[in-house]
Structure 1
Amino acid sequence: MTLIASKSNKEAFYLLHEGTQYQSYQFLGAHLEERDGCKGVNFAVWAPNAKEVNVSGSFNGWDGTHHAMTMQDGIWSLFIPELEEGTLYKYEIVTLDGDRYLKADPYAFQTEVRPETASIITSLENYEWQDEDWVANNSSDQHLQRPLLIYEVHLGSWKRKEDGGFYSYVELADELVDYVHERGYTHIELMPLAEHPLDSSWGYQVTSYYSVTSRFGSPRDFMYFVDRCHQKGIGVIMDWVPAHFCKDAHGLGRFDGSPLYEYADSRKGENPTWGTYIFDYGKPEVVSYLISNALFWMDKYHVDGLRVDAVYSLLTLNFNRPKEEWITNEHGGEEHLEGIAFLQKLNAVVFSRYPDMLMIAEDSSAFPGVTTPVDYDGLGFNYKWNLAFTSDTLSFMKKNQSERNGQEDQLTRSLLGTRDANYVLPYSHDEVNYPNKSLLGKMSGDDNWQRFANLRVLYAYLMAHPGKKLVFMGTEFGQMNDWNAEGSLEWELLSHEEHQQFAEFVKEMNHFYKGEKALWELDFEPSGFVSLVAEEKEDSLVTLLRKAKSGNDQLILINNFKIEAHEGYRLGVPEPGGYQEVFNSDKLEFGGSGITNAERLETEEWSCQGYAHSISVNIPPLAAVILKYMPKEG
Structure 2
Amino acid sequence: MDIHQFFLGNAFDAHTYFGAHVTEQGVVFRTLAPNAAAVDLIWEGGDWEPIPMQRIHDGGVYELTVPEAVAGQMYKYRITPQNPDGDIIDHCDPYGFGMELRPNNASIIRDLSSYTFHDKKWLAQRGNHRKKPVNIYEVHLGSWRTNPNNPNGWYTYEEIAPKLVDYVKKAGYNYIEFMPLSEHPADCSWGYQNTGFFSPTSRYGTAHQLMQLVDTCHQAGIGVILDFVPVHFAVDGYALNHYDGTTLYEYPEKEDNYSEWGSCNFIHARGEVCSFLQSCANYWLSVFHFDGLRMDAVSRLIYWGGDASRGINPASITFLKRMNQGLHQLHPDSMLIAEDSTNYEGVTCPVEYGGLGFDYKWDMGWMNDTLDYFRQYPWVRRDSDTYHKLTFSMMYFPNEYYLLPLSHDENVHGKATIMQKMFGEYEQKFPQARLLYLYMYAHPGKKLLFMGSELGQLREWTEEQQQDWDILKYPIHDAFYHYMLELNRLYLTEPALYQDDYERDGFCWVDCHQEAKGIYAMERRAGDSRILILLHMSDEATQTFTFTLPDCGSLKPLLHTDWKRFHGSTEESKQAIVGDVTRTGMQFTLELPPFSGIMLRIQPKKQPAVKKPAARKRTVSKKKTS
Matching residue within 111, 114, 124 for 2:112 = 124
In the aligned structure 1, how far is the partner of 2:49 from the partner of 2:252? Answer: 30
Match of 2:595 among 593, 618, 622: 622
**Matches of residues 535-550 of structure 1 in structure 2 within 5 Å?**
535-548=513-526, 550=527
2:407 paired residue among 398, 419, 428: 428
What residue in structure 2 maps to residue 400 of structure 1? 377
Task: Name structure 1 gaps, 5 residues minimum.
Answer: 1-10, 327-333
Residue 342 of structure 1 is matched in structure 2 by 319
Q: Tell me the TM-score normalised to structure 2 length.
A: 0.93
Amino acid at match of 2:561: S
Partner of 2:339: 362
The answer for the alignment partner of 2:160 in structure 1 is: 172
The structure 1 residue matched to 2:442, chosen from 458, 464, 478, is 464
SS at match of 1:59: helix
For 1:48, the aligned partner's letter is P
Structure 2: which amino acid aligns with 1:233? G
**Does 2:283 correspond to 1:302?**
no
Asked if the contact 2:348–2:357 (Cα under 8 Å) also holds between the matched residues in 1, the reply is yes
Does residue 70 in structure 1 map to residue 55 in structure 2?
A: yes
Q: Is residue 31 of structure 1 aligned with residue 21 of structure 2?
A: yes
Q: In the aligned structure 2, how far is the partner of 1:154 from the partner of 1:248?
A: 23
Counterpart position of 1:92 = 78
Report matched runs for 1:541-580 at 5 Å: 541-548=519-526, 550=527, 552-566=528-542, 568-580=544-556
| Code of the aligned partner of 2:603 | M
Partners of 2:403 and 2:205 lie apart in 1 by: 31
Per-residue Cα deviation, 1:304-357 (whole angstroms, up to 9, x for no partner): 000000000001114369x8xx5xxxxxxx110011111111110011111111
Higher mean displacement: 394-403 or 285-294: 394-403
| Residue 534 (structure 1) shift | 1.5
Where does structure 2 lack aligned partners over 5 or more consecutive residues?
608-626
Q: Find the counterpart in structure 2 of residue 437 from structure 1.
A: 416
1:626 counterpart SS class: strand
* 1:456 CA drift (Å): 0.3
- SS of the counterpart of 1:343? helix
Residue number in structure 2 paired with 1:523:
501
2 CA distance for matches of 1:421 and 1:288? 28
How far is 1:375 from its partner? 0.7
Contact 1:156–1:167 (8 Å) recurs in 2: yes
- Kindly state the Cα deviation for residue 501 of structure 1 after the two structures are TM-superposed: 0.6
CA contact (8 A) 1:55 1:69 kept: no
Is 1:412–2:400 an aligned residue pair?
A: no
Q: Does 1:284 align with 2:260?
A: no
Give the C-alpha shift of residue 576 in structure 1: 3.2
Q: Write the distance in 1 (CA, Å) between the matches of 2:199 and 2:121.
A: 27
Q: 2:457 aligns with which of 470, 479, 497?
A: 479
Trace 1:184-223 onto structure 2 (pairs within 5 A): 184-223=172-211
**Aligned counterpart for 2:218 among listed residues 230, 236, 260:** 230
Aligned to 2:38: 52
1:177 is displaced (CA, Å) by: 1.1
Deviations 1:187-223 (A, max 9, x none): 0000001100000000000011000100011111111
Q: Distance in 2 between matches of 1:75 and 1:461?
A: 55
| Alpha-carbon contact 2:553-2:586 (below 8 Å) kept | no
- Give the CA deviation at 1:398: 1.1
State the shift of 1:59 in Å.
2.2
Any idea what the Cα deviations from partners look like across 1:9-55, whole Å, max 9, x if unmatched? Answer: xx6222211212211111110111123xxxx2111001111110010
Tell me if structure 2 keeps the 8 A contact 1:153–1:190.
yes
Q: How does 1:97-176 map to 2 (within 5 A)?
A: 97-98=83-84, 99-138=87-126, 141-162=127-148, 165-176=153-164
> Aligned pair 1:589/2:565, yes or no?
yes
Amino acid of the residue matched to residue 39 of structure 2? V
Higher-Rg structure is 2
What's the CA shift for 1:595?
A: 5.0
Match of 1:15 among 2, 5, 26: 5
Q: Aligned residue for 1:313? A: 300
Alignment equivalent of 2:236, drawn from 245, 248, 253 = 248
CA contact (8 A) 2:114 2:208 kept: no
Partner AA of 1:158 in structure 2: W
Question: Percent same amino acid at aligned positions?
Answer: 36
CA RMSD between the two structures: 1.6
Distance 1:400 1:442 in 2: 12
* 1:4 paired residue number: none
CA shift at 1:612, angstroms? 4.5
> Matched residues in 2 for 1:96 and 1:494: separation?
61
Deviates more, 1:220-229 or 1:558-567: 558-567
2:125, 2:378 → 1: CA distance?
47
Task: Give the AA of the match of 2:138.
Answer: E
| 1:70 and 1:78 in contact (8 A); partners too | no
1-side partners of 2:489 and 2:152: how far apart? 33
Shift of 1:537: 1.8
Number of positions where the alignment pairs a residue of Structure 1 with one of Structure 2: 600
Return the alpha-carbon distance in structure 2 between the equivalents of residues 209 and 320 of structure 1: 26
In structure 2, distance between residues paired with 1:391 and 1:32: 49
C-alpha contact 1:556 1:626 (8 A) present in aligned 2:
yes
The alignment partner of 1:237 has SS state of strand
1:260 counterpart SS class: coil
Query: Aligned partners of 2:563, 2:522: CA distance in 1, in Å?
Result: 21
AA at the equivalent of 2:455: F
Deviation string 1:451-492 (CA, Å, 9 cap, x unpaired) is: 100000001111000111000000001111111111111111
Q: In the alignment, is residue 603 of structure 1 matched against residue 593 of structure 2? A: no
CA contact (8 A) 1:195 1:214 kept: yes
The CA distance in 2 between the partners of 1:275 and 1:289, in whole Å, is 22
Shift of 1:236: 0.3
Counterparts of 1:278 and 1:229 in 2: how far apart (Å)?
A: 33
**What code does the residue aligned with 1:603 have?**
G
Q: Which residue of 2 aligns with 1:275?
A: 262
How far apart in 2 are the matches of 1:41 and 1:483? 43
Deviation of the 1:266 alpha carbon: 2.4
- Which residue is equivalent to 1:260? 248
- SS, match of residue 95 in structure 2: coil
CA distance in 2: counterparts of 1:61 and 1:83, whole angstroms? 12
Taking the TM superposition and a 5 Å limit, the aligned residue runs for 1:492-503 are 492-503=470-481
What SS does structure 2 have at the residue aligned with 1:601?
coil
| TM-score normalised according to structure 1 size | 0.92
1:631 and 2:618 matched? no
SS in 2 for 1:351: helix
- Shift of residue 600 of structure 1? 1.8
Output the CA distance in 2 between the equivalents of 1:147 and 1:559.
22
Partner residue, 2:486? 508
**In 2, Cα distance between the equivalents of 1:200 and 1:353?**
34
